[in-house]
């Protein structure tokens, strides 16, 4: 019955895409669909069915496969910034590490203040 | 021999099969060596596929058209993240202060190195928005680049590259710093490494993944709100 779980996800994805089209929000339809599905779960009194949980787990475990087509364009598009390529790569690496460190230390600081369960 | 290769590659299912094959090979290798960061199946598959496309003279657009199904499944997976998000609602609410403080601080901090770079290198207008929004998930960065009439493709690539960098070095940094708190591990990687980062954390359990998704979403929303303001100031 994984298909039933997939169908539910498709319905929320389509709803998200419809809302994105009609409202011009700068967020993808899938993210809107995710927010809508989370809200829907909260409005239900029943616990989550195993069908939905299993479908979600199967898809999550394959996420890195689904990202390959989007990433495969790197070689093509980086040619557009050939003159600054090295500096841009260095910026991407430095910025990523810097943001991650700020995230880690801020979260740790406020967690240490007694906020984490 | 060359003719045979060309015939095989022209089959409409070739690139889908080739992508899955690459992913499987690198996944098995990664599992065999206990998942080291350098054996990232996404990154290695991306490299092999990009080089193959170049060698076989196939355009990226042609490749994307043949892998429409994987892009659709990617969208479905994002919607499916509602499950861990819902299941961990109580823990998320309980940690709202840490989440809120990290969100604001890290969002502002993520712009600083790029602002310095833009000022120092006198970067062209088409590159400013894609570079500034690279810490947000690619759909958000692409949408902002579209509004500001910048290069949308570069916006996607900068965001994804940032995700790949975090997926490779993020877990290493967390381990070196001995960060064991699953909320902190998930939120930091999701915030800084969005989709690709989240994929890397799937093996760490549902609390980590729900915080990673939360980081991804909240950073996306906040970037969509703050980046247009910052772009006016830069």
For the stretch B183-198, pLDDT in tens is: 999 999 999 998 888 8
| pLDDT single digits (tens) A54-112 | 998 898 888 888 888 877 877 777 777 778 888 999 999 999 999 999 999 999 999 86
Q: Torsion over CA of B53, B58, B61 and B67, rounded to 10 degrees? A: -60
| pLDDT single digits (tens) A21-42 | 898 776 778 888 988 999 999 9
> CA–CA separation, B90 vs B86, rounded Å?
9
Partner-chain contact A106 B106, CB within 8 Å:
yes
Q: Which residue of A has its CA nearest to B23?
A: A65
> CA–CA separation, B100 vs B120, rounded Å?
32
> Where does residue B122 fall: left (phi above 0), alpha (psi -120 to 50 degrees), or beta otherwise?
left
Amino acid B127: pLDDT? 84
Q: Indicate if the pLDDT at residue A116 is higher than 50.
A: no
Q: Which residue of B has its CA nearest to A12?
A: B79
Amino acid A2: pLDDT? 79
> CA–CA separation, A110 vs B52, rounded Å?
47
Q: Which residues contact B28 (CB under 8 A, 6 or more apart)?
A: none
> CA–CA separation, A89 vs B48, rounded Å?
19
When CB atoms are compared, the residue of B75, B81, B170 closest to A100 is: B170
Any A CB within 8 A of B117 CB: yes
Three-class DSSP category at B11: coil
> Which B positions 55-84 lie with beta carbon below 8 A of chain A?
59-60, 63-64, 67, 70-71, 73-84
Q: Indicate if the pLDDT at residue A114 is higher than 70.
A: no
Distance from CA of B78 to the nearest CA of A (A): 6
What ipTM was predicted for this assembly? Answer: 0.86
Any B CB within 8 A of A26 CB: yes
In terms of Cβ atoms closer than 10 Å to its own Cβ (0-12, 13-18, 19+), residue B43 is buried
Amino acid A26: pLDDT? 67
Q: What are phi and psi of A28, to 5 degrees?
A: -70, 160
Distance from CA of A1 to the nearest CA of B (A): 16
Amino acid B190: pLDDT? 92
> CA–CA separation, A91 vs A87, rounded Å?
6
> Where does residue B205 fall: left (phi above 0), alpha (psi -120 to 50 degrees), or beta otherwise?
left
Q: Which residue of A has its CA nearest to B72?
A: A66
Any A CB within 8 A of B222 CB: no
Residue closest to B140 by CA, chosen among B128, B152, B123: B152
Q: What letters, b where the CB count within 10 A reaches 16 and e where it falls short, cover B142-178?
A: bbbbeebebbbebbbbbbbbbbbbbbbbbbebbeeee
Partner-chain contact B79 A27, CB within 8 Å:
no
Any B CB within 8 A of A18 CB: no
> CA–CA separation, B227 vs B225, rounded Å?
6
Any A CB within 8 A of B217 CB: yes
Which chain A positions have a beta carbon within 8 Å of B67's beta carbon? 68-69
Other C-beta atoms closer than 10 Å to the C-beta of B62 total 11
Q: Indicate if the pLDDT at residue A113 is higher than 60.
A: no
Partner-chain contact B98 A33, CB within 8 Å:
no
Q: What is the mean pLDDT of each run of 10 residues along chain B (234 residues)?
A: 77 91 93 80 88 88 89 87 85 89 94 91 83 84 78 83 88 90 92 84 84 87 85 82
pLDDT grade for A115, boundaries at 50, 70 and 90: very low
Residue closest to B199 by CA, chosen among B18, B52, B15, B45: B45
Select from B77, B156, B209, B227 the residue whose CB has the most chain A CBs within 10 Å, as the one to mutate to test that interface: B77
When CB atoms are compared, the residue of B53, B102, B151 closest to A106 is: B102
Q: By the 8 A CB rule, do B184 and A99 touch?
A: no
> CA–CA separation, B105 vs B103, rounded Å?
6
Partner-chain contact A68 B46, CB within 8 Å:
yes
Q: By the 8 A CB rule, do B162 and B138 touch?
A: no
Partner-chain contact A60 B79, CB within 8 Å:
no
Q: Which residue of A has its CA nearest to B155?
A: A77
């Amino acid at each position: 019955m994984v298909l039933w779980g997939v169908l539910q996800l498709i319905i929320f994805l389509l709803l998200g895409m419809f809302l994105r089209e009609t409202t011009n929000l700068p967020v993808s339809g899938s993210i809107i669909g995710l927010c809508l599905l989370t809200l829907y779960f909260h409005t239900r009194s029943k616990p989550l069915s195993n069908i939905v949980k299993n479908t979600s787990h199967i898809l999550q475990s394959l996420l890195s496969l689904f990202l390959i087509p989007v990433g495969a364009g790197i070689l093509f598009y980086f040619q557009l910034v050939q003159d600054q390529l090295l500096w841009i790569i260095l910026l991407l690496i430095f910025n990523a590490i810097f943001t991650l460190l700020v995230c880690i230390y801020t979260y740790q600081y406020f967690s240490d203040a007694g906020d984490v369960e | 021999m060359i003719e045979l290769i060309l015939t095989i590659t022209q089959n409409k299912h070739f690139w889908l099969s080739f992508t899955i094959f690459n992913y499987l090979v690198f996944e098995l290798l990664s599992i065999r060596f206990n998942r080291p960061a350098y054996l990232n199946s996404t990154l290695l598959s991306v490299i092999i596929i990009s080089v193959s496309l170049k060698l076989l003279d196939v355009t990226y657009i042609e490749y994307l058209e043949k892998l429409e199904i994987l892009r659709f499944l990617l969208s479905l997976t994002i919607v499916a993240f509602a499950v861990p998000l819902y299941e961990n609602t109580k823990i998320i609410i309980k940690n709202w202060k840490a989440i809120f403080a990290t969100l604001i601080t890290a969002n502002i901090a993520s712009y600083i190195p790029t602002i310095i770079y833009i000022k120092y290198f006198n970067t062209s207008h088409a590159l400013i928005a894609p570079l500034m929004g690279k810490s947000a998930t690619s759909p958000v960065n692409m949408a902002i680049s579209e509004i500001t009439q910048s290069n949308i493709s570069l916006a996607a690539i900068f965001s994804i590259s940032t995700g790949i960098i975090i997926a490779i070095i993020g877990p290493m940094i967390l381990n070196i710093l001995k960060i064991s708190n699953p909320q902190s591990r998930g939120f930091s990687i999701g915030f800084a490494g969005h989709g690709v980062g989240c994929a890397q954390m799937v093996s760490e359990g549902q609390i980590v993944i729900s915080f990673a998704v939360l980081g991804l979403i909240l950073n996306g929303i906040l970037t969509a709100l703050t980046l247009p303001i910052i772009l006016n100031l830069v």
